[in-house]
Amino acid sequence: MPNAFNFSASPFDCLSAEERALVRGSVDIAYYPEGAVVLDMGDAPAHLFVIIKGYVTQAEGDEVLATYGPDDCFDGRGLVAGRVSSRFTVAEELLAYQLARATVMELIARNRNFGALLFSDLGQKLSTLAQRAEQHEMQSLTLTRVDQAFLRPAHVVDAGTDIVSVVRLFQEQRTTSVLVSGLPDVPDGLGLFSNTTLQRAILDGRPLAQITVGELASHPLVTVRASDQLGDAMALLLRARVHRLAVLGEGGQVLGILEALDLFSFLANQSHLITVHIEQARDLAALEQAAAQVTRLVAVLHRSGTRIALVAQLVAQLNARLFERAWQMIAPRDLVANSCLFVMGSEGRGEQLLKTDQDNGLLLRDGYEPPADLQAICERFSQALAGFGYPECPGRIMLSNPAWRGTVSEFGDRVRDWLFKPEGDSLMHLAIFLDAHAVAGDAQLLSAVRQRLFQLGAENDALVARFALAIDAFGGPAGWWGRLLGLEDVTLVNLKKAGIFPIVHGVRSLALARRINATGTAERIAALQAEGQLDAALGQELLQGLHFLMELRLQAGLDELELQRGVTGNVDPAKLTSLQRDLLKDTLSVVKRFKALLHQRLRMDAV
């Protein structure tokens, strides 16, 4: 066999050296002309095919299910089952490796991951990949540079400063340590005084105003270079038995303080560090700096292999706290107490990763008289979010637009109109509002409007069916595989339209029919499964597929940011690996089955 066999392509990338040798010793090369049928329905396959050159289509009757190109393999499922359930036809002359069935079965017996990636369903494939990624996540983070972690400011005081003055500095700067300069008999004259050292000062017995920090400061200073790896910093903390390290720049100057809590938080998920920034922010400028860190956090977590569901959860928590703090800085206390600021769309569902359009609104308590300058307050909030990197919504779905703020009673009337007068953008507004999630103020105001919505909507089957019809708005994936594999003109692929939206809106429609209060897709799926409204296996596949599509869009968006382009999340087919193409085929197949189920369950064809 030629040495060119690509062991970096899935599922062969998980094989050991011995297993790779087994492949090399039992593989042949086959050629098929265009139009040839490689495998037909009912055949008992003797080989697994791995494409070197050319393309193969998989079809049932007249319907093309998938297209396979270089580095793709087929038909693993038929090989294991002993019978092929589709027809595989050469679309462009084919050169392929043939791996004998006995060898494939031996590899499956030896290597669980190989078998899972070869013929399992979508959920099992993605679970296997997640387990492999988690093994590398901690190692990747420990190799990160020290200056990529959160460094606290290094406040410096003279050795002659009294303890009371230092405690005042602790309170004013919201810090727990200071560097002490001018220490005698210390090579660099530097030491550290922290809240732990403060305990020794109190136990000293003398008045604190008569004790200087120089008397109690610890020295020599334990330091680490900014260019060192976090793993080395962690080892140094443990070896020196200290809780803080001074981080030095190239010139030996102190850049900041790395605390043990911040280091371990960084290795765990890093969101704690941004939360500290948000909580300590005194103005919108400081919040803007914290907002910039959220995107960096997403990039680091994605690069380290963190599960996409966890990344989305962390981003949702950080954004909610960021919006709440901004609203508290801008709005008067009375307005905050008598209103509910809410976010919608992917932000409301807790599924947003990179910053997209603002989708928010404001509910006011019935009978409350808002400030005369309410419009100006709301405009300042929208402008602040724009400064944080959240673009204004082109459709003006944000609280600076009077149409997206009002009393509970007024919003209740709007919801009724969206339901019973589906004109223009009414159904879109309804879908967005169904995902609304409170981030500041009185959340009960939002709950009251949502309850009225469920009471009106769940009693009308035709209305829910009409609402669900939006899943067909963007058509199906037909023709995509030709574009993905080079058989047609290459264009960027909008995964939101073909995969993410049908999953999200389909689950949202079922949740509306069952009056399920949850706003996140995962929570809605769990509730539907608990009520027996959604098969457990299909629910798992829908959730796994959604997360896979979100991850593809995230990578595409990060690539766009790196090129300083606007974030669209559209996927370039040329950048998809053979494994990603395989998973994408499986995911869109699940979406197709789900759409068929919705049409049947909600009687959508009768609308």
pLDDT digits (tens, 9 = 90+) for 295-313: 888 887 777 677 788 788 8
Q: Across all residues in the chain, what is the average pLDDT?
A: 85
The confidence score (pLDDT) of residue 495 equals 86
For residue 124, give Cα distances in angstroms to 116, 119, 180, 541: 6, 9, 56, 9
Residues 187 and 319 in one domain: no
Residue-wise pLDDT for 168-187, tens only, equals 999 888 888 999 999 988 88
- pLDDT classification of 271: cutoffs 50, 70, 90: low
Residues 430 and 476 in one domain: no
DSSP for 382-427, written as a single string:
HHHHHHTT-PPPTT--STTSGGGEEEHHHHHHHHHHHHH---TTHH
**φ and ψ at 248, to 5 degrees?**
-105, 140
CATH of the domain at 225: 3.10.580.10
392 is a domain residue: yes
The confidence score (pLDDT) of residue 141 equals 57
Query: CB–CB of 405/364 below 8 Å?
Result: yes
Can you name the residues that pair with 87 across neighbouring β-strands?
59
Report residue 386 CA to chain centroid gap.
21
102 is a domain residue: yes
DSSP for 458-512, written as a single string:
TT-HHHHHHHHGGGGTT---TTHHHHHTTSS----B-HIIIIIHHHHHHHHHHHH
State the Cα–Cα distance between residues 395 and 413, nearest whole angstrom: 21
- Nearest Cα residue to 57 out of 95, 16, 86: 86
State the Cα–Cα distance between residues 156 and 153, nearest whole angstrom: 9
Q: Is the pLDDT of residue 524 over 70?
A: yes
Domain range for residue 369?
288-297+304-457
Compute the average pLDDT of residues 523-542. Answer: 93
The confidence score (pLDDT) of residue 388 equals 93
State the Cα–Cα distance between residues 14 and 116, nearest whole angstrom: 11
The confidence score (pLDDT) of residue 281 equals 84
Q: Is the pTM of this model over 0.75?
A: no
Can you name the residues that pair with 506 across neighbouring β-strands?
none
Compute the average pLDDT of residues 45-70. Answer: 85
DSSP for 4-28, written as a single string:
T--TTSTTGGG--HHHHHHHHTTEE
Residues 593 and 487 in one domain: yes
297-323 as b/e: b if 16+ CB within 10 A = bbbbbbebbbebbebbbbbbebbbbbb
CATH of the domain at 390: 3.30.460.10
CA 310, 314, 316 angle in degrees (round to 5)? 115
Report residue 34 CA to chain centroid gap.
42
Residues 592 and 493 in one domain: yes
7 is a domain residue: no
Residues 75 and 151 in one domain: no
- Nearest Cα residue to 292 out of 281, 304, 305, 308: 281
Q: Is the pLDDT of residue 125 over 70?
A: no
Query: CB–CB of 330/382 below 8 Å?
Result: no
Residue-wise pLDDT for 372-398, tens only, equals 999 999 999 999 999 998 988 888 999
Residue-wise pLDDT for 32-41, tens only, equals 999 999 999 9
State the Cα–Cα distance between residues 537 and 493, nearest whole angstrom: 27
- Please name the amino acid found at residue 27: V
Alpha-helical (H) ranges within 514-604 are 521-530, 536-562, 578-601
State the Cα–Cα distance between residues 249 and 424, nearest whole angstrom: 59
- Nearest Cα residue to 488 out of 69, 62, 16: 69
124 is a domain residue: no
- pLDDT classification of 138: cutoffs 50, 70, 90: very low
Residues 390 and 426 in one domain: yes
Compute the average pLDDT of residues 52-60. Answer: 88
134 is a domain residue: no
135 is a domain residue: no
495 is a domain residue: yes
Q: Is the pLDDT of residue 584 over 90?
A: no
The confidence score (pLDDT) of residue 485 equals 46
Last residue of a domain, one of 428, 457, 486: 457
Last residue of a domain, one of 422, 457, 492: 457
Instruction: Point out the least confidently predicted range of 73-77, 161-165, 256-260, 523-527.
Output: 73-77
- pLDDT classification of 270: cutoffs 50, 70, 90: low
Percent of residues in the chain assigned helix, strand, coil, to nearest 5: 55, 15, 30
For residue 245, give Cα distances in angstroms to 184, 220, 228: 21, 11, 12
- pLDDT classification of 480: cutoffs 50, 70, 90: very low
State the Cα–Cα distance between residues 418 and 401, nearest whole angstrom: 17
Residues 448 and 308 in one domain: yes
Residue-wise pLDDT for 74-112, tens only, equals 888 888 778 888 899 999 999 999 999 999 989 988 887
Residues 80 and 62 in one domain: yes
Contacts of 320 (CB under 8 A, 6+ apart): 343, 437, 439
Instruction: Point out the least confidently predicted range of 1-10, 86-95, 323-332, 515-524.
Output: 1-10
The confidence score (pLDDT) of residue 159 equals 93
Residues 400 and 545 in one domain: no
Residues 473 and 597 in one domain: yes
Q: Coil, strand or helix: which one is 563?
A: coil
Last residue of a domain, one of 407, 426, 457: 457
- pLDDT classification of 52: cutoffs 50, 70, 90: very high
The confidence score (pLDDT) of residue 570 equals 84
Residue with tokens 């069952």: 514
Query: CB–CB of 275/513 below 8 Å?
Result: no
**Domains of the chain: total:** 4
Q: Is the pLDDT of residue 121 over 50?
A: yes
The confidence score (pLDDT) of residue 108 equals 85
CATH of the domain at 35: 2.60.120.10
Residues 501 and 450 in one domain: no
- pLDDT classification of 448: cutoffs 50, 70, 90: very high
562 is a domain residue: yes
- Nearest Cα residue to 404 out of 340, 354, 468, 324: 340
Residues 452 and 324 in one domain: yes
Q: Coil, strand or helix: which one is 252?
A: coil
State the Cα–Cα distance between residues 555 and 313, nearest whole angstrom: 17
Q: Could you count the other beta carbons within 10 Å of the beta carbon of residue 241?
A: 7
